[in-house]
Structure 1
Amino acid sequence: MEKEVNFRIQCGWNNWRKVSGVICDKRVPVRLKGKVHKAVVRPALIYSLEVAPLKKSEEKKMNAAEMNMLRWMVGVTRRDRIRNEYIRGAVKEVEPSKRIQESRLRCSESPVSSLFLTFDRQFSVSSLQSPVLRVRFQSPVIYW
């Protein structure tokens, strides 16, 4: 399974390189970069892992690879010491492991999964420069 995860990460980087002209351009707004990332890079990163059992170490690898992409996209380095939540909030992005879990729940037709989806809350972080993490609740996500 580790080979599949490594292959998916490599596919994500390949797609990231294809759109790096848009993603790395400082004149493009961060939200638009996030939309391009969601449309091009994330599907390549997550494809076919919805049904695969992943270890915690493999989930961490995927999350780390995507955070490297997002940091580069926003123009932030590790040295700037900005938390991942702020970067994800600026781009309006959720961890790949959460997306995989959500798609697993959506795929199963059991009443238990629909119960979990009705109580699922999405968080959105207000801004990148904010010194305090401000979170506002949005309505529950329901997939039919």
Structure 2
Amino acid sequence: MSSLPHNIPLLYVLVRAFNRDKQAFLIGNNYLKLTVNEVVLILGLPNRGLDFTFVRLPCIDLTHKDLIEEINNLVVEDWSPTLESRRLDSLIIYLVNVFFFPLKGMKIPASLHKIDCLSTFVMYNWPKTIHHFLL
């Protein structure tokens, strides 16, 4: 994501347009409410599953860079089911942290580190959790 150009002034305008009381963005003269269904449409994730309690603190010692190194270290010539499982687990943790819940300092909340495999990932209602995180 860092290689993509960011429109920082536009981000500031969007953040300033958010009305906390109405839980909506003021666009022109209208309030635009961001709901879980909009998150579903944007990300294409199913709106079902268990509620995930996202807690920003405490953070673990891992950073995004550490996760990338871990994924790179798992690339070897020999294939094994265990290695593939570890590679997939690391990739899931990385994607959840980087794309869904980016935090300052690229820190990883301990609550997200329990998402350690695909079967755990699909149990939760991610659109609802992401909606809560954004608001």
Q: TM-score if structure 2 supplies the norm length?
A: 0.25
More strand, by proportion: 2
Larger Rg: 2
| Larger RCO (CA under 8 A, 6+ residues apart) | 2
Q: TM-score if structure 1 supplies the norm length?
A: 0.23
